[in-house]
Chain A
Amino acid sequence: MVAIGTVGLGGPGALGGGALIGEIDEAGAPRPPAGRRWQRPPAWRLVILVIAFLFYAFPFAAAVKYSLVQSDGSFGFNNYSQIVSDGAVRDSLYTSLEISAIAAVAVVLLMLPTVVLVRLRLPRLTLLLEGVTILPLVVPPIVLASGLAHLQGSAPEWLVKLWFNHPLTGLTPTYVVLAMPFSYRAIDTGVRAIDLRTLVDASRSLGASWFMTLTRVILPNVETAVLGAIFLTVALCMGEVVLSSIMLYNNVLPVEMIQVGASSPGVSVAISILALVFVFVLLFSLSFLARRRRGSTSVRVI
């Protein structure tokens, strides 16, 4: 049962998130003109829809039911209230959220200006950048993990104190790097979809500084893409297990979930469900933002 919960956010979770973003994009695409007569879809489509729905809904419903079973066999919210009352779980949730927030901000601050700079001034570096950003996917995570663990073991004490002593400093930079394949592509696709040079020139000629051009002109027009990058980064931070457990950061949410799962599986599943709900809320707010400007050209996130 634990596995069901972690799949939503675990290592493969990042890829699952990718697929979900694709669906959002469809929602933002131009819809058929209103007033077109609604036609009953053929029966086989309904059948497929129902099967697919059951395929996803059944394990989820089972997990919800399981999380509601209390230790004495009755139904209740004990497992959920334990998340709040269990200090370790709460703290690990906060830590993971902090890591997510900082990593998401760092990804945007790093990637958006880089992509804009390369597109405008250094187009010859595009290939190099594409190569570099794909590296975290090409190099197996275990290599990265053992490399970091080795560094952790052999680094001078001041560096260990500065960098590795806390998961915030130890994991956030690593997650920013791990998120690069997704964040770069999401933002690059968004920037490609706008007439960057003309917008930048127009903004500059009207007296805007580079900062104003980035924040007032470029960012709002690649909003969906940037949100996509943020979402993927958050999903990665909330679900990554391999690195954090190898580097012995036990007080982050995914590792904590596994530990709790060993002693009280109900609580672990409850956390998974909450995490899933969190992701859905994130997704819906994303699609809401994407649809806010209706009729504007849809920007593919991935």
Chain B
Amino acid sequence: MIRFEGVQRHYGSVAALAGLDLEIADGELVALLGPSGCGKTTALRILGGFDHPTAGRLLVDGRDITGVPANKRDMGMVFQAYSLFPNMDVRNNVAFGLRMRRQDKASRLQRADELLELVGLVEHADRYPHQLSGGQQQRVAIARALAIEPKVLLLDEPLSALDARVRAQLRVEIRNLQQRLGITTLFVTHDQSEALSMADRVGVMQSGRLEQLDTPENVYRHPATAFAAEFVGAMNRLPGRMGDAGDVQVLGQRLSVLNPDGREPGAPVQALLRPEAVSVVRDTAGAGEVTQRTFLGASVRLEVVLDGGQKVLVEASSHDVGVEVGTRVGLRILADAVVVASPGVAPDPEATPVVA
């Protein structure tokens, strides 16, 4: 088990990590998700021993490893940039860690071949890194990291340099491999779909803090904070008012609030609603008009402009929705609990998620 205990990292007056507490269970894959500069890579580099915390402790199986140098930590790492040693062929790259552990040549090369078999590249064992594609290089890097049978696997955005098709494929492969070997893994990414699809638990980070750490489903459905809500998935911001019983009134409906945070009744707030948590009904006396319609296959994404000028994104099953651009519609909220944000706080532009 890995434990970050109040780990801080300051660069001058800038806090890259402002007190991180995180536990990763054996065999678990935790993804740290956040915009660039949120401290996720710093956390990973500190665990790998490449950076040192200004304060706090780092425990692996109860042992304090805060002061242990990187080469004594037994952690396999896969980097964002291609990191294979250009002067060695694939087999020797994979065997490098074992060579550093003074394993004899025959057995380490055999072990390298086993691992290349695992990532499906055994026939490329004699090639040099520059003769491989990006996806192949990252697979070799994974084999190399696994060859030393590390306690922990560290993945630093290993897929971000690859093209979309290879990325999707490797995502599945890495997850399968990780589950099969049961290796504890910390995965750092800024791609929410990567984090949601691969991780056992997702940690959403902002400004050096962990905003939420939960299963992918909970992070998506029950975000703990406005930031977590808006960073993961597309989000509508609809104006509302706090009610008396920790609820909020939006578009004439009462919804319970996931993060009341002591807001006064009657205080103006903005409710954060996912496009699929809103539905439309054809209604000539409805509150808005469809201004855009995008057919996505299984679903249809609609942009509805309310009479007050407020835009609402709606995603609905393409079987149910028969509305065209220009149709007057009424809106109904399907969710019964929402996260609210204080009005006027514009979403961080960098945190604006890519609408998948």
**Residues of chain A at the chain B interface (Cβ within 8 Å):** 194-195, 198-199, 201-209, 212, 216-217, 220-221, 223, 293, 295-297
Q: How many A-B residue pairs have CB under 8 A?
A: 82
A209 to B131, CA, bound (A): 28
4 nearest A-B pairs in the assembled complex, by CB-CB distance? A206-B97, A220-B87, A204-B70, A207-B100
Q: Is the CB of B77 within 8 A of A201?
A: yes
The listed residue (A203, A205, A293) touching B85 by CB distance below 8 A is A203
Q: Is the CB of A199 within 8 A of B71?
A: no
Q: Is the CB of A204 within 8 A of B81?
A: no
Closest to B100 in A: A207
In the complex, whether B37 has a CB less than 8 A from a CB of chain A is no
Q: Is the CB of A204 within 8 A of B130?
A: no
Q: Is the CB of A296 within 8 A of B100?
A: no
Task: Tell me the B85-130 residues at the A interface (CB within 8 Å).
Answer: 85-87, 96-97, 100-101, 128, 130
Closest to A208 in B: B100
Q: Is the CB of B79 within 8 A of A202?
A: yes
Q: Is the CB of B131 within 8 A of A295?
A: yes
Closest to B150 in A: A205
In the complex, whether B48 has a CB less than 8 A from a CB of chain A is yes
In the complex, whether B49 has a CB less than 8 A from a CB of chain A is yes
Q: Is the CB of B97 within 8 A of A201?
A: no
Q: Is the CB of B71 within 8 A of A207?
A: yes
Residues of B within 8 A of A207 (CB): 71-72, 74, 97, 100-101, 148
Q: Is the CB of B83 within 8 A of A198?
A: yes
A207 to B79, CA, bound (A): 16
Residues of B within 8 A of A198 (CB): 79, 81-83
Q: Is the CB of B100 within 8 A of A205?
A: no
Residues of B within 8 A of A296 (CB): 86-87, 128, 130
Residues of A within 8 A of B154 (CB): 205
In the complex, whether B295 has a CB less than 8 A from a CB of chain A is no
Residues of A within 8 A of B50 (CB): 201, 204-205
Known A-B contacts: A202-B83, A221-B87. Give 15 more (CB < 8 A): A194-B86, A195-B83, A201-B83, A202-B77, A202-B85, A203-B96, A204-B70, A204-B71, A206-B96, A207-B148, A220-B85, A221-B86, A295-B131, A296-B130, A297-B130
Residues of A within 8 A of B71 (CB): 204-209
**Residues of chain B at the chain A interface (Cβ within 8 Å):** 48-50, 69-77, 79, 81-87, 96-97, 100-101, 128, 130-131, 141, 144-145, 148, 154
Residues of A within 8 A of B79 (CB): 198, 201-202
Residues of A within 8 A of B144 (CB): 202, 206
CB distance from A212 to the nearest CB of B (A): 6
23 A–B contact pairs at CB < 8 A? A195-B82, A198-B79, A198-B82, A199-B85, A201-B50, A201-B83, A202-B84, A202-B85, A204-B50, A204-B69, A205-B49, A205-B70, A205-B71, A205-B75, A205-B76, A205-B77, A206-B71, A206-B96, A206-B100, A206-B144, A206-B145, A207-B101, A221-B87
Q: Is the CB of A217 within 8 A of B130?
A: no
Residues of B within 8 A of A201 (CB): 48, 50, 70, 77, 79, 83
Residues of A within 8 A of B76 (CB): 205-206
A198 to B72, CA, bound (A): 18
Residues of B within 8 A of A217 (CB): 85, 87
Residues of B within 8 A of A206 (CB): 71, 76, 96-97, 100, 144-145, 148
CB distance from B127 to the nearest CB of A (A): 11
CB distance from B92 to the nearest CB of A (A): 10
Q: Count chain A CB atoms within 10 A of each CB in B79, B81, B87, B144 and give the residue with the most.
A: B87
A176 to B145, CA, bound (A): 40
Given A205-B48, A205-B77, A295-B130 contact (CB < 8 Å) = yes
Q: Is the CB of B49 within 8 A of A204?
A: yes
Residues of A within 8 A of B86 (CB): 194, 221, 296-297
A202 to B100, CA, bound (A): 12
Closest to A201 in B: B50
Closest to B87 in A: A220
A204 to B70, CA, bound (A): 6
Residues of A within 8 A of B77 (CB): 201-202, 205
A204 to B79, CA, bound (A): 13
A203 to B88, CA, bound (A): 12
Residues of B within 8 A of A212 (CB): 100
CB distance from B75 to the nearest CB of A (A): 6
Residues of B within 8 A of A216 (CB): 96
Closest to B88 in A: A220
